[in-house]
Structure 1
């Protein structure tokens, strides 16, 4: 593997490239940063495959846009950029337009525009085509359009190339298809891969894949220190203290910025709390609609909000050069992921503040996401077997009634199996290829161990007495690491750790406010007949529950933390604190009709907890406790986490209304409050509500301590 340019860039190339750069930037006094022109020369004159590892803000996009301008001037075909996020695509298109480069995109939000895009390509009216990695495996695009694009493209760009590697912090299975694309390119088609977040292991993996077909790959790597960033860590274990610090000090931070949270629930709750305290903020998560995302990104760019409270959905590619700060309520699972997110700040400013406020719940959240992203052998075998047995394409929905894998995990698993050649996406769904395939347990074991080591490194970052920037550089195998002189370890804390009591009270008031709406299920899962359950279509109004309530989500910053501790312990009677929280939820419910009695869901794991909660609420609310439903044939089976169809099948026929409870329900004059500990799939509540309605309850109001998510 070469590690340096083959020759200095020629004077003529420098002149042409400088003109293109200044058109791109819109200024006549700019020049190339160290390494940019070297990369351009290798692509344009050397026609090589190049991996660029440079810090965020160095100007990787300038390399591929200038190279595009020069290649197009030579008569080459359009540049194809594989780009992972819509936000990144939008920024890339805007930058291209400023340089007079005609850029178009094809992604999940505009697939119906492919006819227009295809026509423009045929007329040679496109300089840059941006595609998502998922689009590479769209059957029509893959079979009808991709071969011609591979043959004609003048430059292939793989942006955020660490996604290729399953050692990377943000592995995307669809990125592994790029290796197949590389094998179809004509010789001497230049290829550029870029990333700011790759350690030595990831670089080695990416280089191996970029070199598919025996090509040499040149790696150009620069120092990753960010002189503008002022790093710090403020350890506050109580969630109300972390929120209180934000309430008190958000306005003191420079400019506008991003507050990262680890879960959707935390981001939404923090955004509400900050708005109630008078801060101009908004939540930005995976649940945010595409149009709303664009609006929020523009509001942050224009400094019309102080901050977006975001999950990692606002990550790679969001470009606001003067972003003034990045705060984290909870730590990402690795220093590499953390470096990537904080790299959004201070790209065109002398100073940007970066503060991490880790929480004791971080490890639980890391563990959950790690388990969700790793394929399991028994599930992979079941999917391949189901597709082989079907003999025809099956949709993801149809597969859910055959294999017990939750939708998000199933979609990821299908992508991994597709990349490995065991299954293939076709019109109408998925099919088995019949190719020999073996679950690579050793590889997944190594990846799991690597992620555990990275989690420990994140904890080490929080506790280190050394320079924080140098620590992050070493985690990225940057051998230029040295003390930055600005972080809280080098220069002492730059942030005010004081938290006014009024802010603590405000935060505590918000976090202690229990109550989450439980929307009732409206539709039975598809294909239940295959599982022996005679249900289909919409759930009839006569057996459905009313909207319910939970005290909190388990991922919530306030009550969520307390409920996690309660539910992971041994079964025991509920505390008065929990009962009082439930009473608060009941008081603020706003129901059309007050419940007249209580029934509990039978529990094998926590009978004391659920039973004492039901009786306690009955005593406080002066409502009769009618008892619990019966467990039939041992009760519900299966573990939490399965898909919707199997979760319903595991409950169906295993619960019942006994004779005593049926007598008590007969002629009951009002709603029944149905009490349980945790709502996950909500099928237990749905089935119980249907049984109670059939037994005479006019309506059912579900109440649980917690809801997953």
Structure 2
């Protein structure tokens, strides 16, 4: 490009760059001239400039729809502080005040770029507000989510099509830009079909998916203990900072906790953290205060940190496209980086669970529709989850589909979104979910095949799966080099990690609701240790205390900060409740304050219920402090047999907060994870 090109001056003045990266100018010109564009480019390609630059040329506001909340924060900071482009966001990680301020700025014409999560379009009031803005460019980030054939199809993305139709009726010349790093030819065709109009077909620009600086490898592993030791070993040799991807929040917290015990600067990041805590972690990580962050995709896909030197996958992802996107977060500065995948064949069960959880049945649709049709008052989402007992993901999917096929309509009632029955034009069509289940199962099989093979070039396999027609070998992955993993797990080291897993206290995070302090549980239900199994089998039938459990109880209780009393939570089934409370109090040299009781016993045991909304409803407002109870001065240790949803512990804290401001410290024998959509624990 010649230096006197008019865009060159703007690039330097606004963004401080001397040159466009290859393909950027072509994409920007195509968008401005043809109005609708899909860019399929690898992670780290500089896709953000493709809407940031046009926003400086176009009137009105650029609306960016993105699921990557962590990336929103980074982008806004860059835009406002570095490029002096006014930007803000609307999303669930912000406070009501922050979202209100963003709406005010957007409505007053004070913003050039507004980021919103796709879920914002699900809410009728927010949908209508966004329609009022003078939008000249609509950007769909992670555009593969709009396709049923995509690895990460999201029902909330269906609202984008309705939003486009609403905007077109008022602004026919609106420009549309789709961005993705993971669209194979089938997904590309589907996106083209959905985003094209009769007057304005969608143009596609596809770049090579090659990332020549990323060195890929797979390390076979067996069990959590071996993977924890492998993390420790790898981090002793890997330079710079990086991410460890985990499939679940619990895994992320476990990995971070273990590495902290080994003296490494690390923390966990996932969607369940408080928004302010997320901001702190993200800022600290960007400033290299952590060697590694163990994260779910809540951070991993959205972190704007170009110098990540490694990505480790603790669990196998659900698809090659998801893996490419995640491992592509490293080495965006062009320097050498490593992408390492731990492969335990048993881990595919996690992804199979995710696939099944996202597949609603005809019975699920009937349950939701039947309840809404028979409800005395239009229900909101929480009420629907409470009554149907379905997995929360399924409820969201079912409602989105019923809305799409006009079986339901939504209204805003006193600030809350409610759902009403609507007369459909045709019978319910669930073929989309049959297709999606087949796609996800097929994608998982391909990912497993990638992990199990050791002969072919790994980067070439990824590129071929993503639609690159010509793929040469990278020359430096373990497939090209024909190397076996160097990392081994000695039996002695494995035994040490397993002992740590069995004996460690499981942290219970502090919560702002009712000001519950941090605490811990003794036994991790996910590990199914013999001690855990014995406790869960005997808790409802025997008053005798297990000697091994008693020894562990005394050992871990010594880690507690001083408390004034042990407060056992009421229980209808825990037979050794009084005995364990007495032993714990004796060891701590404090009293037992048996001051909590049920005003009305819950109708069902928590384990019989189907989701956490039902569990919270089951115990809400049911507990009380005995009227004549004397509250000890000082921190109170709240003792229960196990914690799953945390609903019973929160209800105990609610009751106590009616009469005392004392610190409340949760302490349970076991920590479990409930099934969602069916009774029992995982």
Range class of TM-score, shorter chain? 0.7 to 0.9
**Would you say the 8 A contact 1:265–1:553 is kept in 2?**
no
**Would you say the 8 A contact 2:34–2:200 is kept in 1?**
no
Q: Does 1:245 align with 2:245?
A: no
Counting only pairs closer than 5 Å after superposition, residues 223-242 of structure 1 correspond to structure 2 as 223-242=208-227
For 2:164, which of 164, 175, 182 is the aligned residue? Answer: 182
Q: Does 1:362 align with 2:347?
A: yes
For 1:435, which of 402, 406, 423 is the aligned residue? Answer: 423
1:532 aligns to what? none
Structure number with bigger Rg = 1
**Would you say the 8 A contact 1:386–1:399 is kept in 2?**
yes
Q: Does 1:159 align with 2:147?
A: no
**Would you say the 8 A contact 2:143–2:179 is kept in 1?**
yes
For 1:216, which of 198, 201, 205 is the aligned residue? Answer: 201
Distance 1:254 1:213 in 2: 52
Relative to the length of structure 1, the TM-score reads 0.74
Distance 1:564 1:358 in 2: 27
Distance 1:350 1:520 in 2: 40
**Would you say the 8 A contact 2:127–2:163 is kept in 1?**
no
Q: Does 1:69 align with 2:56?
A: yes
Q: Say if 1:226 and 1:518 are closer, same or farther in 2 by CA, change over 3 A.
A: closer
Aligned Cα RMSD in Å?
4.4
Q: Does 1:146 align with 2:130?
A: yes
Distance 1:249 1:274 in 2: 11
Distance 1:516 1:116 in 2: 39
**Would you say the 8 A contact 1:582–1:705 is kept in 2?**
no
Count of residue pairs the alignment pairs up: 605
Counting only pairs closer than 5 Å after superposition, residues 572-583 of structure 1 correspond to structure 2 as 580=548
Q: Does 1:426 align with 2:412?
A: yes
For 1:105, which of 70, 89, 102 is the aligned residue? Answer: 89
Distance 1:239 1:459 in 2: 18
**Would you say the 8 A contact 1:51–1:219 is kept in 2?**
yes
**Would you say the 8 A contact 1:102–1:127 is kept in 2?**
yes
1:54 aligns to what? 41
Distance 2:417 2:472 in 1: 52
Q: Does 1:42 align with 2:17?
A: no
> Which runs of 5 or more residues in structure 1 are unaligned?
1-8, 524-537, 539-546, 603-610, 622-634, 651-670, 688-699
Distance 1:38 1:305 in 2: 38
2:74 aligns to what? 91
1:624 aligns to what? none
Q: Say if 1:119 and 1:458 are closer, same or farther in 2 by CA, change over 3 A.
A: closer
For 2:442, which of 428, 453, 460 is the aligned residue? Answer: 453
Q: Say if 1:255 and 1:128 are closer, same or farther in 2 by CA, change over 3 A.
A: same
Q: Deviations over 1:551-605 (max 9, x none)?
A: 2132xxxx258899999x9xxx99xxx9846853565347988999xx9959xxx
Distance 2:145 2:524 in 1: 34
**Could you say what secondary structure the match of 2:114 adopts?**
strand
Cα displacement (A) at 1:164: 1.4
Q: Does 1:641 align with 2:610?
A: yes
Distance 2:353 2:647 in 1: 20
Q: Does 1:16 align with 2:6?
A: yes
**Would you say the 8 A contact 1:517–1:550 is kept in 2?**
no
2:271 aligns to what? 286
For 1:588, which of 545, 551, 556 is the aligned residue? Answer: 556
**Could you say what secondary structure the match of 2:88 adopts?**
strand
2:457 aligns to what? 467
Distance 1:356 1:195 in 2: 23
Report the more deviating stretch, 374-383 or 322-331. Answer: 374-383
Distance 1:202 1:585 in 2: 54
Q: Say if 1:171 and 1:230 are closer, same or farther in 2 by CA, change over 3 A.
A: same
Cα displacement (A) at 1:118: 5.0
Distance 2:484 2:6 in 1: 45
**Could you say what secondary structure the match of 1:224 adopts?**
coil
Cα displacement (A) at 1:212: 4.8
Cα displacement (A) at 1:460: 0.4
**Could you say what secondary structure the match of 1:251 adopts?**
helix
Distance 2:357 2:532 in 1: 19
Q: Say if 1:513 and 1:45 are closer, same or farther in 2 by CA, change over 3 A.
A: same
Distance 2:469 2:113 in 1: 35
